[in-house]
Amino acid sequence: MKTFKNILSWVLPIVVGLLVATVIRHFVFTMVRVDGPSMEPNLENNERVAVVKTAKIRHLSVIVFNAYKVDPDAKEKGVKYVKRVIGMPGDTVSARDGKIYVNGKAIKQNFISQFERTQGTGNWDLYSLSNRNEWTLQTTKVPKNSYFVLGDHRSVSNDSRYWGFVPKSKVIGVVKVPIWDTSAKKRHNVNSLGY
């Protein structure tokens, strides 16, 4: 009996700890690795970031979502993309000469350089994108429970300009860069821009 109590005294805390860690990972936050250059210069390829599942999504939030059945090229169920939210449900979104307009107002894009804004963003609105790319839904506004997302490195990013909107149900959470990682400016550009 004494041996059983001794074993239980160290097994029980381990089991409880594993259960708590599982609950936190499933409901609160998890870690993911950035794959590819589409969020440069703010997030680098292979960088590890936290994904806060309980954080509120805002304009310019950086999110992680399951791209399977969002992007036709995402053929595997576990494929995750990291992108920046430009349009929220009900927004109109357009781009002209390196400027992005949300509901007719140019947004501040201080998180990327002028060169990055003008090289690759293109000139478009939601209706022209939906026609050009033959989306099932042809619209002038971001649909209910959906987001329009772009990569920061626009000239190489595979994003909403090509395959459309990200359903809210596919969003895993909002990206937060740990304080010990990367530069203060890059952390600010990822962690603090949401409005």
- Domain range holding 100? 1-192
Model pLDDT for residues 43-79, shown as the tens digit of each residue? 999 998 989 998 999 999 999 999 999 999 998 888 9
Pairing between strand 80-87 and 93-96?
A: unpaired
The Cα 59–Cα 94 span in angstroms is 14
Q: Please report the pLDDT score of residue 89 as a whole number.
A: 98
Q: How many domains does the chain have?
A: 1
Q: Among the listed ranges 96-100, 131-135, 144-148, 191-195, which one has the minimum average pLDDT value?
A: 191-195
User: Hey, how many other C-beta atoms are within 10 angstroms of the C-beta on 55?
Assistant: 18
Residue 98's pLDDT band (cuts 50, 70, 90)? confident
User: What's the pTM value of the predicted model, to 2 decimals?
Assistant: 0.85
DSSP for 97-160 reads: TTEEEETTEEPP-TTS-HHHHHSS--SEEHHHHHHHTT-SS--SSPPTTEEEEE-SSTTT---H
Residues labelled catalytic:
38, 83
- For the chain, give the percent of residues with pLDDT over 70: 84
CB 85 within 8 A of CB 63: yes
Predicted confidence band at 100 (pLDDT cuts at 50, 70, 90)? very high
- The reported pLDDT for the residue numbered 103 is 97
Torsion of CA 66, 70, 71, 72, to 10 degrees: 120
- 136 or 146, which is more confident? 146
Whether the Cβ atoms of residue 122 and residue 100 lie closer than 8 Å to each other:
no
Residue 71: CATH number of its domain: 2.10.109.10
